[in-house]
């Protein structure tokens, strides 16, 4: 199971570069076939879910663009909002999310 999942991870994480052969959907479909042939129910279910939206998965494999940074910032914003929910309004949220310039930031004490 582990080598198969690491293979899937490498499909998504390996950035396409001009010197290397670009990622193709052929490797993705080979991986999906191997996943189906394993006989492990959880892997087979995962592969079946990927096949449901195969166009999006193929786009994730072949393009170098990612919305990971955006999703991370949205997650951070939601976490901060939950922390201060009910205690203050928009001003506190703004103060926590927009950092002060270095010359205005308070000096940290040891």
Q: pLDDT of 43-99, one tens digit each? A: 999 999 999 999 988 888 887 777 777 888 888 888 777 777 766 567 766 776 777
pLDDT at 31: 92
Q: What are φ and ψ of residue 25, in 5° steps? A: -75, -15
Quickly tell me which residue has 């203050």 as its tokens. Answer: 88
pLDDT at 89: 64
C-alpha distance from residue 55 to each of 11, 51, 58, 61 (Å): 15, 8, 5, 10
Q: What is the pTM of this model?
A: 0.55
Residue 28: CB atoms within 10 A of its CB come to 20
- Measured in residues, the chain has a length of 110
From the list 60, 34, 59, the residue with the least C-alpha distance to 46 is 34
pLDDT at 12: 78
């Amino acid at each position: 199971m582990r080598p198969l999942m690491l293979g899937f991870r490498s499909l998504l994480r390996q950035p396409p570069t001009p010197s290397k052969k670009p990622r193709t959907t052929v490797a993705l479909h080979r991986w999906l076939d191997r996943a189906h042939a394993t006989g492990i129910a959880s892997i087979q279910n995962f592969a079946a879910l990927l096949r449901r939206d195969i166009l999006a998965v193929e786009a994730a494999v072949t393009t170098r663009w990612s919305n990971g940074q955006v999703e991370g910032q949205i997650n951070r914003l939601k976490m901060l909002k939950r922390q201060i929910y009910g205690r203050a309004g928009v001003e506190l949220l703004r103060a926590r999310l927009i950092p002060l310039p270095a010359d205005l930031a308070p000096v940290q004490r040891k």
